[in-house]
Amino acid sequence: MSLDRRRFLVTAFAAGMAGGAGAFIASGDIRPTYVWRGSALGGEARVALYGADEEAARVALGAVAAEIERLEDVFSLHRRTSELSRLNASGVLDAPSRDLVELLRSAAVWRERTAGAFDAAVQPLWLAASRGEPVTGDLMRTARGSVSIAPERLQLDDGMALTLNGIAQGRIADRATEVLLAHGFGDVVVDAGELRLPGRERRAVGIPAAKAAVSVAEVAIATSEPKSLVFDRVAFRHHLIEPSTGASPRHWISLSVFAPTAEMADALSTAFAVLPHAAVADLARSIGDVAVIGEDAKGRIRRLGDMRLAGDRERNA
């Protein structure tokens, strides 16, 4: 049975809650006491609390739901009234929220640190791929425009559009975690498209590339898979776009990134998915605090970076 990235995580999470032998398994016989289910940026989201009091859980999960809803109104491309949608529509946004300014600045940092492999300005290329349109010189010039970021105003070059889908899910998972920690809950699992496990309790997480589970704690995990959204199956033109060419690379079948925060894991999984394994290995080494488990296009399993983040207490590849 073939499972795409998001369906894998959701199905695995459910298996874990049932105490079965699924890909996401709560350690031992411990099951979540309370679980919240909702959505984040168009996908399913779940939060599990362990050892929670009913009233405290209700208050904490209500705060998480409110925070996710608030951030949807900032980052979502599915809502025409979101700040990002309004910025893309008009090319300018006055008095943007601090959340949007901070995430755009973070996106700029990850663009620099990945030598352009992560780029929020890839949205016009993504839209062209989704419509089956060719990558033209004019389209590439549009995608290489610049963004003016200031607390009082955001401005895009003519024709530009941004997507934060490769980093905002991670930011939402991190914010949900911060909300729960502020309410006194440290033993939690947050799945907002990317996983965040802040607690010290080690839990087994299924990794699609490895076709196995790893035992991890105090980590975030993000997975990218070209096959999860394919626009043209003959040409295998998919949703992961290489910003410098507009092409859909075939370097990886599946790739999971482990990092201290979900935002970092999210941005790097987006970037690494469009790069060959040698470039990923170099970047993982230079960035630090990151591990990668991926299945390359030839079916080989590659483990790169600091594998202690991926639950290997001895190996540091």
pLDDT at 314: 58
Classify 264 in phi/psi space as left (phi over 0), alpha (psi -120 to 50) or beta: alpha
The pLDDT value recorded for residue 198 is: 96
Distance between terminal CA atoms of the chain? Answer: 31
pLDDT in the model for residue 313: 67
Give the residues of the chain that fall short of pLDDT 70.
1-30, 313-317
What CA–CA distances, in Å, run from 161 to 85, 89, 127, 226, 270?
A: 9, 8, 10, 22, 18
Give the closest residue to 280 by CA, choosing from 247, 315, 256: 256
Determine the pLDDT at residue 18: 29
- Res 99: pLDDT: 98
Predicted pLDDT of residue 244: 95
Q: Please tell me the pTM assigned to this model.
A: 0.89
Domains of the chain and CATH, by start = 1-317 (3.10.520.10)
Residue type, 158: D
The pLDDT of residue 33 is 85
Q: What is the pLDDT of residue 53?
A: 87
Q: What is the pLDDT at residue 23?
A: 31
Q: Three-class SS string for the chain?
A: CCCCHHHHHHHHHHHHHCCCCCCEECCCCCCCCEEEEEEECCEEEEEEECCCCHHHHHHHHHHHHHHHHHHHHHHCCCCCCCHHHHHHHHCEEECCCHHHHHHHHHHHHHHHHCCCCCCHHHHHHHHHHHHCCCCCHHHHHHHCCCEEEECCEEEECCCCCCCCCCCHHHHHHHHHHHHHHHCCCCCEEEECCCEEECCCCCEEEEECCCCEEEEECCEEEEEECHHHCEEECCCCEECCCCCCCCCCCCCEEEEEEEECCHHHHHHHHHHHCCCCHHHHHHHHHHHCCCEEEEEECCCCEEEEECHHHHCCCCCCC
Tracing tokens 């809950």 back to the chain, one arrives at 185
